[in-house]
Structure 1
Amino acid sequence: MARGIRRFLSVALKVLALMLALVLMIVVIRTVTFPSYQTSPPECKVTDPDFIPADEERLARFTSAIQFQTVSYERGVGTPQELAKFVHFIQKSFPTVHGSPMVRRDVVGNYSLLYRVEGSDASLQPYMLASHLDVVPITEEANWEAPPFSGQVKDGYIYGRGTIDTKHTLMGSLEALEFLLSSGHQPKRTLYLAFGHDEETHGVFGAKVISKVLQQRGEEIVFILDEGTMVVDDFFPGVSKPVALVSVSEKGSLHVKLKVQAEGGHGSMPTKESAIGILARAAKKLEDNPHPNMFGTGPEARMLEYVATEMTLPYRMLSSNLWLFSPLVGWLLSQTPQGNAYARTTTALTRFTAGNKDNVISPEAEAIVDHRIHPMQTAEEVLEFDRKVINDARVVLDVKDSSSVFPPSPISPHGKDSPTYAVLQKTIQQIFPDALVTPTFMVANTDTRHYWNLSSAIYRFSPSAMSVADLKRIHGVNERISIKAYEKVINFYYHLISNMDEPLDVKHHGHTDGL
Structure 2
Amino acid sequence: MIKSITLTLLLTVLLVSILPAVESIPLIKTPLNYASDFAGSLKIKTISFDPSDTENSFNGTEFILFRQYLETKFPKVHATCTRTIINTYSLLFKWQGSNTSLKPIFINGHFDVVPATAAGWLTDPWNGTIMDGFIYGRGTIDNKLIVMSSLEAIEAMLTANYVPKRTIYLAFGHDEELGGNNGHKYISDYLKSQNITAEMLIDEGSPIMKENFLPGINKTTALVGINEKGYLFYNLSVTTPGGHSAMPPPETAIGIIAKAALAIETHPFPNYPLSVINSEFLNLFNETNIANVPYLSSMLKTTTAVTMFKAGIKSNVIATSATVWINHRIIAGSNVTYTLNRVRELVNDSRVQLVIDGSKEPSPISPPSAQAYKLVKKSLKKVYGDIRVVTGQMFANTDTRHYWDLTPNIYRLMPVVCSYAEFSTMHGYNEKISVDDYMKAIKFYKKLILKFQTCGQQTTAPTSYLDDSDQSDCDC
Indicate yes or no: 2:182 matched with 1:202: no
Equivalent positions of 1:90-129 (< 5 A) are: 90-100=70-80, 103-129=81-107
1:458 to 410, 415, 423: 410
**Equivalent residue of 1:372, what SS?**
strand
Distance in 1 of aligned mates of 2:410 and 2:23? 33
Distance in 1 of aligned mates of 2:30 and 2:140? 15
**Equivalent residue of 1:500, what SS?**
helix
Q: In the alignment, what sits opposite 1:255?
A: 233
Q: For residue 149 of structure 2, what is the amino acid of its counterpart? A: G
Post-superposition offset of 1:167: 0.9
Q: For residue 363 of structure 2, what is the amino acid of its counterpart? A: S
Distance in 2 of aligned mates of 1:213 and 1:148? 34
Indicate yes or no: 2:33 matched with 1:71: no
**Equivalent residue of 1:115, what SS?**
strand
Post-superposition offset of 1:298: 5.6
Equivalent positions of 1:157-168 (< 5 A) are: 157-168=134-145
Post-superposition offset of 1:229: 0.8
Distance in 1 of aligned mates of 2:282 and 2:396? 20
Q: Structure 1 residues 85 and 337, CA, compared in 2 at 3 Å: closer, same or farther?
A: same
Select between 455-464 and 477-486 the one with higher mean Cα deviation. 455-464
**Residues paired across the two proteins, number:** 433
**Equivalent residue of 1:225, what SS?**
strand
Indicate yes or no: 2:223 matched with 1:245: yes
1:275 to 226, 234, 253: 253
What is the root-mean-square deviation in Å for CA atoms of aligned residues? 2.1
Post-superposition offset of 1:300: 5.9
Post-superposition offset of 1:53: 6.3
TM-score, L = length of structure 2: 0.86
1:471 to 420, 423, 427: 423
Determine if contact 2:203/2:412 at 8 Å carries over to the other structure: yes
Q: Structure 1 residues 457 and 149, CA, compared in 2 at 3 Å: closer, same or farther?
A: same
Q: In the alignment, what sits opposite 2:444?
A: 492
Equivalent positions of 1:185-224 (< 5 A) are: 185-224=162-201
Q: In the alignment, what sits opposite 2:468?
A: none
Distance in 2 of aligned mates of 1:454 and 1:261? 45
Distance in 2 of aligned mates of 1:491 and 1:409? 29
Distance in 2 of aligned mates of 1:395 and 1:208? 33
Q: In the alignment, what sits opposite 1:228?
A: 205
**Equivalent residue of 1:405, what SS?**
strand
Q: Structure 1 residues 239 and 178, CA, compared in 2 at 3 Å: closer, same or farther?
A: same
Q: For residue 451 of structure 2, what is the amino acid of its counterpart? A: N
Q: Deviations along 1:308-342, whole A, 9 cap, x unmatched?
A: 5xxxxxx6xx6xxxxxxxxxx3x752333222221
**Equivalent residue of 2:237, what SS?**
strand
Q: In the alignment, what sits opposite 2:367?
A: 413
Q: In the alignment, what sits opposite 2:309?
A: 352
Determine if contact 2:43/2:128 at 8 Å carries over to the other structure: yes
Q: For residue 439 of structure 2, what is the amino acid of its counterpart? A: E
Determine if contact 1:119/1:186 at 8 Å carries over to the other structure: yes
Q: Deviations along 1:326-366, whole A, 9 cap, x unmatched?
A: xxx3x752333222221211111111222223322223222
Q: In the alignment, what sits opposite 1:339?
A: 296
Q: Which runs of 5+ in 2 are unaligned?
A: 1-19, 458-476
Q: For residue 406 of structure 1, what is the amino acid of its counterpart? A: K
Identity %: 39
Post-superposition offset of 1:396: 2.9
Distance in 1 of aligned mates of 2:126 and 2:311? 38
Determine if contact 2:216/2:289 at 8 Å carries over to the other structure: no
Post-superposition offset of 1:62: 0.9
2:332 to 367, 372, 375: 375
Q: Deviations along 1:412-432, whole A, 9 cap, x unmatched?
A: 111xx3101100000011111
Determine if contact 2:227/2:366 at 8 Å carries over to the other structure: yes
Determine if contact 1:298/1:375 at 8 Å carries over to the other structure: no
Q: In the alignment, what sits opposite 2:347?
A: 390
Distance in 2 of aligned mates of 1:476 and 1:352? 22
Q: Structure 1 residues 58 and 451, CA, compared in 2 at 3 Å: closer, same or farther?
A: same
Q: In the alignment, what sits opposite 1:179?
A: 156
Q: Structure 1 residues 342 and 300, CA, compared in 2 at 3 Å: closer, same or farther?
A: farther
Q: For residue 228 of structure 1, what is the amino acid of its counterpart? A: G
Q: In the alignment, what sits opposite 1:155?
A: 132
Q: In the alignment, what sits opposite 2:31?
A: 55
Determine if contact 1:420/1:504 at 8 Å carries over to the other structure: no
Distance in 1 of aligned mates of 2:398 and 2:116? 20
Distance in 1 of aligned mates of 2:276 and 2:175? 29
Q: In the alignment, what sits opposite 2:147?
A: 170
Determine if contact 1:63/1:152 at 8 Å carries over to the other structure: yes
Post-superposition offset of 1:302: 2.6
Q: Structure 1 residues 45 and 164, CA, compared in 2 at 3 Å: closer, same or farther?
A: farther
Distance in 2 of aligned mates of 1:345 and 1:195? 30
Distance in 2 of aligned mates of 1:269 and 1:153? 61
Distance in 2 of aligned mates of 1:63 and 1:464? 16
Distance in 1 of aligned mates of 2:409 and 2:394? 15
Q: For residue 72 of structure 1, what is the amino acid of its counterpart? A: S
Q: For residue 183 of structure 1, what is the amino acid of its counterpart? A: A
**Equivalent residue of 2:280, what SS?**
helix
Q: For residue 155 of structure 2, what is the amino acid of its counterpart? A: E
Distance in 1 of aligned mates of 2:338 and 2:456? 38
Determine if contact 1:235/1:468 at 8 Å carries over to the other structure: yes
Post-superposition offset of 1:261: 3.1
Q: For residue 48 of structure 1, what is the amino acid of its counterpart? A: S
Distance in 2 of aligned mates of 1:193 and 1:383? 37
Q: Structure 1 residues 266 and 428, CA, compared in 2 at 3 Å: closer, same or farther?
A: same
Determine if contact 1:52/1:490 at 8 Å carries over to the other structure: no
**4+ aligned runs moved over 4 Å, structure 1:** 44-47, 50-54, 297-300
Q: For residue 410 of structure 2, what is the amino acid of its counterpart? A: I
Post-superposition offset of 1:503: 3.7
Q: Deviations along 1:123-164, whole A, 9 cap, x unmatched?
A: 10011001111111004x221111101111110001001111
Q: Which runs of 5+ in 1 are unaligned?
A: 1-43, 309-314, 319-328, 506-515
**Equivalent residue of 2:360, what SS?**
coil
Whose radius of gyration is greater, 1 or 2?
A: 1
2:271 to 276, 293, 300: 293
